[in-house]
Amino acid sequence: MNPADVPFADLYRKVIMEHYREPAHRGKLDEPSVVAEGHNPLCGDDVRLELKIETGRVVQAAFTGDGCAISMASTSMLTDLLEGRTIEESLELIERFTRFIKGDRDGIDEHELGDLAALEGVSRFPVRIKCALLPFVSVKNVIAVNRTNGVAPSS
């Protein structure tokens, strides 16, 4: 069976499977600045992202968790992309990918999404969009919570 011929090849593209099998940044940080935890009650997926933030910039990202290929691959890709970004740039990326996966591609250049662009096929599987967004929602929430509490995530 040639993977390109099967209907699920679009959902499970090669780059997604690579991130799933050999995720980037899987593990824990010694002293994370913020910890984002996400849970998808529909399928029992759990993800925990740890970010080290210095002067408003993510300098290191790592994650642990159990989940499907889509959620684990998107978490791996996100940790890849967050490193080096400021909090504002991270929120911008999250906002753009969230629109992208929901099918709203206006003004989005696929190249800036890096490997995340491979998740395009997920758009056509509404029940799986939540899987892809799990780490994004978690990071967005933890940044918002830190801000409301007056804890600037920029220690």
Partner 1 sequence: MRDSHNRVIDHDRVRSSSRPAQLADRGEFPLIEAERRKGRSYLDSASSTQKPARVIDAIKGFYETTYANVHRGIHRLSEQATRAVESARRDVGRFIGAESPEQEVIFCRGVTEGINLVAHAWGNVALSPGDEIVLTTMEHHSNLVPWQLLAQRRGVRLVELQPDDEGCITPEALERVLSPRTKLVGMTHVSNLLGTINDLEAFGAICRGVGAVFLIDGAQALGHMPVDVVRSRCDIYVGSGHKMFGPSGIGFLYGRRKLLETFEPFLGGGDMIEQVFFDRSTYAPLPARLEAGTPNIEGIVGLGETVRYLESIGMQRIRAHDQQLVGLALERLSGLPWLEIYGPRRIDARSGLVAFNVEGVHAHDAGSILDMAGVAVRAGHLCAQPLLRHLGRKSCVRASFALYNGVDDVDRLLAGLDQVAEYFNVSSTQEVSSR
**Residues in contact with partner 1 by the rule CB under 8 A:** 1, 3, 6-8, 11-12, 41-46, 66-70, 125, 128, 131
Nearer to partner 1 by Cβ, of 64 and 86: the residue is 64
**Integer distance in angstroms from the first to the last C-alpha of the chain?**
52
CB of 145 to partner 1, least distance (A): 25
In the complex with partner 1, which residue's Cβ is closer, 49 or 73? 73
H helix intervals, 42-152: 69-82, 87-101, 126-148
Q: Which is nearer to partner 1, 6 or 151 (CB)?
A: 6
Min dist CB 127 to partner 1, Å, is 8
Per-residue burial over 92-118, b if 16 or more Cβ lie within 10 Å, else e, is: ebbebbbebbeeeeeeeeeeebebbbb
Question: Do 135 and 148 touch, CB atoms closer than 8 A?
Answer: no
Tell me how far, at minimum, the Cβ of 24 lies from partner 1, in Å.
Answer: 19
Give the nearer residue to partner 1 in terms of CB position, either 28 or 124.
124
DSSP 41: T
Polymer length in residues for the chain: 155
Nearest approach, Cβ of residue 47 and partner 1 (Å): 12
In the bound complex, what is the minimum distance in angstroms from residue 27's beta carbon to partner 1? Answer: 17
Name the residue nearer to partner 1 (CB basis): 118 or 131. 131
Contact assessment for residue 40 and residue 134, using Cβ atoms and an 8 Å cutoff: yes
